Amino acid sequence: MKKMKISGVVLGLLTLVVMVVGIAIGTQLVGQKTELNSKATGNNSPSGAHYNLNIIGVPKGKTADMTGSSGHRIFVPLTGSCQIMLSMGDFSVLDGNCTDGKGGFQLPNPDPDNDGVTTYSVWARALGKPGGRSETTPCATDPTTLETYCSTSSMIQVRSKGKSTFDNVSKQLLYVYADINADGVAERMPLFDARLVDYYWQYDNQGLKLVQLRFYEIPTNVN
Residue type, 65: D
Please say if the pLDDT value at position 21 is more than 60: no
State residue 38's pLDDT score. 40
Q: Does 102 map to a domain?
A: yes
Q: Of 31 and 8, which is predicted with more confidence? A: 8
Statement: residue 69 has pLDDT above 90: no
Question: pLDDT-derived band of residue 103, with 50, 70 and 90 as boundaries?
Answer: very high
221 within some domain: no
In a domain, 223, yes or no: no
Residue-level pLDDT at 149? 98
Residue 43 within a domain: no
**Does the residue 143 lie in any domain?**
yes
Share of the chain above pLDDT 90, in %: 70
d(CA 115, CA 113): 5
In this prediction, residue 40 has a pLDDT band, given cuts at 50, 70 and 90, of: very low
Residue 162 has what pLDDT? 86
pTM: 0.80
Q: Give the number of C-alpha atoms closer than 13 A to the C-alpha of residue 83, restricted to the C-beta side.
A: 13
222 belongs to a structural domain:
no
Residues 163 and 140 reside in one and the same domain:
yes
For residue 219, what pLDDT is reported?
Answer: 98
- Reply yes or no on whether the pLDDT at 23 is more than 70: no
- The reported pLDDT for the residue numbered 41 is 61
**What integer is the mean pLDDT of 70-85?**
94
22 inside domain: yes
Residue 95 has pLDDT above 70, yes or no: yes
Residue 45 lies in a domain: no
- Total domain count for the chain? 2
Do both 127 and 208 map to the same domain? yes
**Are residue 59 and residue 29 in the same domain, yes or no?**
no
- Answer yes or no: do 73 and 143 share one domain: yes
- At 133-176, the pLDDT tens digits run 999 999 999 999 999 999 999 999 999 988 899 999 999 999 99
Strand partners, 221: 117
What is the structure's pLDDT at 146? 97
Same domain, 63 and 14: no
Domain identity same for 75 and 185: yes
| Same-domain pairing of 176 and 95 | yes
Query: Poorest-confidence range of 34-43, 77-86, 136-145?
Result: 34-43
DSSP percent split of the chain into helix, strand, coil, nearest 5: 20, 40, 40
Q: Which domain holds residue 34?
A: 1-38
DSSP code per residue over 93-131: EEE-B-TTSEEEEEE--S-TT-SSB-SSEEEEEEESSTT
Beta bridge partners of 127: 210
